[in-house]
Amino acid sequence: MQPAVEIQDIVKRYGDTAAVDHVSLNVPAGTIYGFLGPNGAGKTSTIRMLMRILLPDEGRIRVLGEDLGKVNLERIGYLPEERGLYKKMRLLDQLTFFGEIRGLSRREARNRSGAWLERMSLADRAMRPVEDLSKGMQQKVQFIATILNEPELLILDEPFSGLDPVNSNVLKDVILEYHRRGHTIIFSTHQMDTVEKLCDHICLINKGRVLLEGTLSSVKQRYGKNGVSLRFEGDGTFLHSLPEVASFQDNGNEVFLRLKDGVDPGRVLDAARARLSVLRFELAEPSVHDIFIEQVSGDVR
Amino acid sequence: MKAMHVIRREYVENVRRKSFIVTTFVVPIMLSLFIMLPMMIAMMSPQRVSRVAVVDQTGNIGADFVAALTDTLKNGRPQYVATIVPASGEGYEAARKAQIDAVQRGETDIVLAIPQGIMADEKAAYITREQRNYNVLDRFEKVLSDVVLKKRLAAEGLDYERVKNLTAGVKVEMNQLTAEGHVEKKSFLSEYGVVVIFALLLNTAILSWGATIAKSIVEEKGSRIIEVLLSSLTARDLILGKLVGVGMAGLTQLAIWTLVGLTLTGGALPVVLAQIGPLHVPPIVFLYFVIFFVLGFMLFASLFMIIGAMSSTEQDAQQMQAIATLPMIIPLMSLMLFMQNPNSGVAVGMSLFPPFTPILMLARIILLTPPLWQILLGIGLMLATIYFAVTFSARVFRVGILMHGKRPSLRELIHWYRMAG
């Protein structure tokens, strides 16, 4: 099956700085693809190029098997990072309008909007202007506008920001439902636990370049052989300077250590027990969170 | 075509707004009040009985004056209750002083003092504590003049009515030859009123609807709705949809204004305006009004669209709009001069300058019906300008709408234009 998105060597410059610097990546069809990176890494610029809002200075983009210039943008649903809704417009009218400009007939757009408002428990607000809604509700409305015409490819920029756990779950269920039906979903987010739970592919970019890309399990495998997760009581700062330890991450209640190649984890456990009361010691694959931090802080190009 | 959805959205949302309903119905009411209020005030006679003391040194003019002062209030009762205070010779000054004191004490309202020399050229005196009421003063002066005039004529053995008829003035009626060869009655005052009303309406309509476009673009830009819009439709569809949708909302408003205007001119307004002079608004003027609104709106809206696309905040946009409205203010300011000779070379030239055309060509049409070729040339020049303005703004729009931060310079604008090409 051909990839949903193929990006080949794209470059986007603002003045002298390259926000996107020779990025290439493939988003396989039917995956939930986590597009990760710190602030200013070039994620939003890349997404905007995918949506033809910006034009790349170099490189080529193919979406859903067609050159980007030719693809019908109705096939792509885009939830921008900064939400945009008409404040004074009634919910139902607004969703109908967004459905219409995305290729639905007026009737179809209205019916689907009504059904979605029902499902998102917003039906009682259908005739109210958007400005009367809470931030979280507006977020749901924006999400409905994105998926109303059931696009084959969904690009969601921070879809869960501002949502409480209950509403996050409602959204997550919809996303998983789309995934099961074979739609491709690209996620851009800082919420690593979400990535961990939802994504099957990830791509990490920093300073406009791809640091790593692949299935979640393959990325983790590359790291997982020599990781140790350790929970203890006492001052564990000395762990950082153990000769067996390649890198050290303090996560608060626990630390994550990456060991040097070929090191016996038992020796680290012994060293730890000598000076700390160890509560838990686990050979672990790193979380996406750990990989993110290690990669980005190690990237001192 | 996706522009259709934008047209519908812009139209419905604009017509549904509270401010639309308010301006649509309040503006005509305000305008009619503006015209009618001075007349209504002038027509309103005082509703109070005034006590008048006529201090009369002549011994007979006072009585004649009171007899002639027959004004009544709305309820039919006499407006003035006059008492004659005869005061011959040296008693005049004292009587006058006494009556002024009576005014001071509030026992009487007006003192009219008629000296012996009134038959020659001495002045009578009108003394009151009330706000100056020129209507009453005028009335007193007229009645007293008539009385004195009658006496003077009688002294010469002449008949008052006869002399009045013989010395009646001659009136010259203002007429104008139209392009079609009709002779039409004209009155400068009523024409000026009509031109000013139409010019103000046109000016308000074009500028406020142009500003609506700028505002909606700034909103879409500021809230990033624009990113969703541009990922679903082209900049051309969006611009076209806005121009047509907002323009139609404007036309709806004008249609309501026109209906109200026609009702008023067909009903109450002529009665009032008849006092100034014959009011004549040929129906064709309303047609031209609509044409020039559409053209003026398109021209200025494309300018306002660039402003909206360039601005990141509404304040930004407002500053630039102030400059952009100058070309609409100039014709308004020159209207008075222009009206004195709407056919001069300068006037014709100015009315053919596209930004001035809507107001000045319409003014010329109301004033003298210029040759058809001039009207058509003006419309043609505007259409050409609109074509370039819309093309330019569409290209600048696409680039500018996604830029945030610093306001661009003219050089950057031109750069955007080239980028989009």
Question: What is the C-alpha to C-alpha distance for residues B43 and B272, in angstroms, rounded to an integer?
Answer: 10
B124 and B209 co-located in one domain: no
How many Å separate Cα B293 from the centre of its chain?
Answer: 18
The class that CATH gives domain A5-214 is: alpha beta
Q: In whole numbers, what is the pLDDT of chain B averaged over residues?
A: 82
- Cβ neighbour number for residue B172 with a 10 Å cutoff: 5
Do the chains contact at A83 and B223, CB–CB below 8 Å?
yes
Supply the pLDDT for residue A183: 94
What is the side-by-side strand order in the sheet with A184-188?
A76-79, A153-157, A184-188, A32-36, A201-206, A209-215
Residue B41 lies in a domain: no
> How distant is the Cα of B217 from the closest Cα of chain A, in angstroms?
11
Domains of chain B: total:
2
B234 and B306 co-located in one domain: yes
Do the chains contact at B228 and A88, CB–CB below 8 Å?
no
Task: Kindly give the residue spans of alpha helices, DSSP state H, lying in chain A.
Answer: 43-50, 91-101, 106-119, 135-147, 165-180, 192-198, 216-224, 265-275, 288-298
Using left for φ > 0, alpha for ψ between -120 and 50, and beta otherwise, residue A208 falls in left
Do the chains contact at B224 and A83, CB–CB below 8 Å?
yes
Confidence of residue B276 (pLDDT cuts 50, 70, 90): very low
Residue B416 lies in a domain: yes
B318 and B190 co-located in one domain: yes
Question: What is the C-alpha to C-alpha distance for residues A42 and A25, in angstroms, rounded to an integer?
Answer: 14
Do the chains contact at B227 and A78, CB–CB below 8 Å?
yes
Confidence of residue B277 (pLDDT cuts 50, 70, 90): very low
Last residue in a domain, options B110, B140, B159: B159
Confidence of residue B365 (pLDDT cuts 50, 70, 90): confident
Question: What is the C-alpha to C-alpha distance for residues B2 and A149, in angstroms, rounded to an integer?
Answer: 15
Residue B174 lies in a domain: no
Structure tokens at A213: 């890309």
What's the average model confidence in pLDDT over A102-106? 92
Is the ipTM here above 0.85?
no
Of all helices (H) and strands (E), which one includes residue B159? none
B304 and B244 co-located in one domain: yes
Supply the pLDDT for residue B244: 92
What's the average model confidence in pLDDT over A144-151? 93
Supply the pLDDT for residue B132: 60
The lowest-confidence range among A166-170, A235-239, B3-7, B355-359 is A235-239
pLDDT digits over B117-150, tens only? 888 888 999 988 876 667 788 888 999 998 998 8
Q: Is B9 on the interface with A (CB under 8 A)?
A: yes
Q: A16-45: buried (b, 16+ CB within 10 Å) or exposed (e) per residue? A: eebbbbebebbbebbbbbbbbbbeebbbbb
- CA dist B95 → B59, B106, B218, B337 (Å): 13, 16, 77, 55
The architecture of the domain spanning A225-298 is 2-Layer Sandwich (3.30)
Q: Name the residue among B9, B226, B402 with its Cβ closest to that of A97.
A: B9
Amino acid at residue number A14: Y
Greater pLDDT, A294 or B110: B110
| Structure-token match 């494309």, residue found | B302
Q: Name the residue among B5, B220, B227 with its Cβ closest to that of A101.
A: B5
Supply the pLDDT for residue B279: 56
Which 8-state DSSP code applies to residue A2?
Answer: -
B110 and B257 co-located in one domain: no
Do the chains contact at A52 and B2, CB–CB below 8 Å?
no
Q: Name the residue among A51, A83, A89 with its Cβ closest to that of B231.
A: A51
Q: Name the residue among A48, A87, A101 with its Cβ closest to that of B232.
A: A101
pLDDT digits over B193-243, tens only? 778 888 888 888 888 888 888 888 888 888 888 888 888 888 888 888 999
> How distant is the Cα of B10 from the closest Cα of chain A, in angstroms?
11
Q: In whole numbers, what is the pLDDT of chain A averaged over residues?
A: 88
pLDDT digits over B301-353, tens only? 988 888 888 887 888 888 888 888 888 888 888 887 777 788 888 889 999 99
pLDDT digits over A20-40, tens only? 999 999 999 999 999 998 888
Q: Which residues of A touch B21 (CB under 8 A)?
A: none
Do the chains contact at B231 and A78, CB–CB below 8 Å?
yes
**Contacts (Cβ under 8 Å, ≥6 apart) of A50:** A5, A7, A61, A63, A68, A76, A155
What's the average model confidence in pLDDT over A273-289? 84
How many Å separate Cα A11 from the centre of its chain?
Answer: 21
Supply the pLDDT for residue B117: 87
User: What pTM, to 2 d.p., does this model score?
Assistant: 0.72
Residue B327 structural domain = 3-35+186-420
What's the average model confidence in pLDDT over B56-62? 87
User: For residue B231, which of A64, A61, A151 has the smallest C-alpha distance?
Assistant: A151
Supply the pLDDT for residue A39: 85
What CATH code is carried by the domain that includes residue B143? 3.40.190.10
Supply the pLDDT for residue B225: 87
Supply the pLDDT for residue B42: 61
B23 and B59 co-located in one domain: no
Question: What is the C-alpha to C-alpha distance for residues B302 and A111, in angstroms, rounded to an integer?
Answer: 36
B281 and B305 co-located in one domain: yes
Supply the pLDDT for residue B44: 63
The lowest-confidence range among A91-100, A158-167, A244-253, B139-148 is A244-253
Whether B265 contacts B351, CB under 8 Å: no
In B32-191 the beta strands, taken as DSSP E runs, fall at: 50-56, 80-86, 110-114, 125-128, 175-177, 183-185
What's the average model confidence in pLDDT over B380-393? 89
Which of B6, B225, B416 is the mutation pick for testing A, counting most A CBs within 10 A? Answer: B225
Supply the pLDDT for residue A8: 92
Supply the pLDDT for residue A177: 93
Question: What is the C-alpha to C-alpha distance for residues A229 and B184, in angstroms, rounded to an integer?
Answer: 100
B18 and B85 co-located in one domain: no
Supply the pLDDT for residue A247: 80
> How distant is the Cα of A167 from the closest Cα of chain B, in angstroms?
23
> With a CB-CB cutoff of 8 Å, which residues 377-406 of chain B face chain A?
402
Dihedral angle of Cα A188, A192, A197, A203, to the nearest 10 degrees: 50
Supply the pLDDT for residue B345: 87
CB-defined contacts A:B, below 8 A = 61
**What DSSP assignment string belongs to B310-377?**
H-SSHHHHHHHHHHHTHHHHHHHHHHHHHHH-TTSHHHHHHHTSTTTHHHHHHHHHHHH---HHHHHH
B273 and B344 co-located in one domain: yes
Q: Name the residue among A52, A74, A78 with its Cβ closest to that of B228.
A: A78
Whether A184 contacts A153, CB under 8 Å: yes
Q: Which residues of A lie closer than 8 Å to B, measured between beta carbons?
A: 48, 51-54, 73-74, 76, 78, 80, 82-89, 93, 97-98, 100-102, 145
What's the average model confidence in pLDDT over B151-159? 88
- CA dist B361 → A263, B195, B350, B389 (Å): 91, 11, 9, 20
Contacts of residues A293-298 at CB distance under 8 Å and 24 or more positions apart, as own/partner, are A293/A249, A294/A247, A294/A249, A294/A258, A295/A204, A295/A206, A295/A211, A295/A212, A296/A37, A296/A38, A296/A204, A296/A206, A296/A211, A298/A247
B257 and B347 co-located in one domain: yes
Do the chains contact at B219 and A86, CB–CB below 8 Å?
yes
Supply the pLDDT for residue A7: 93
The lowest-confidence range among A58-62, A292-296, B173-177 is B173-177
pLDDT digits over A249-270, tens only? 887 778 888 888 778 888 888 8
Q: Which residues of A touch B220 (CB under 8 A)?
A: 84
| Structure-token match 């160890």, residue found | A278
Residue B169 lies in a domain: no
What's the average model confidence in pLDDT over B266-295? 68
Which of A101, A142, A143 is the mutation pick for testing B, counting most B CBs within 10 A? Answer: A101
Most confident range (mean pLDDT) of A225-234, A289-298, B98-107, B389-398 is B98-107
User: For residue A257, which of A276, A277, A236 has the smallest C-alpha distance?
Assistant: A236
Q: Is 80 exceeded by the pLDDT of residue B69?
A: yes
> How distant is the Cα of A101 from the closest Cα of chain B, in angstroms?
6
Whether B223 contacts B401, CB under 8 Å: no
B206 and B112 co-located in one domain: no
Q: Which residue of A has its CA nearest to B17?
A: A88
Q: Is B314 on the interface with A (CB under 8 A)?
A: no
Percent of chain A with pLDDT over 90: 40
Structure tokens at B207: 């500028």
Q: Is 70 exceeded by the pLDDT of residue B408?
A: no
Sequence spans of domains, chain A? 5-214, 225-298
User: For residue B292, which of B341, B239, B354 has the smallest C-alpha distance?
Assistant: B354
Q: Is B1 on the interface with A (CB under 8 A)?
A: no
B25 and B61 co-located in one domain: no
- Cβ neighbour number for residue A123 with a 10 Å cutoff: 14
Q: Which residue of B has its CA nearest to A89?
A: B13
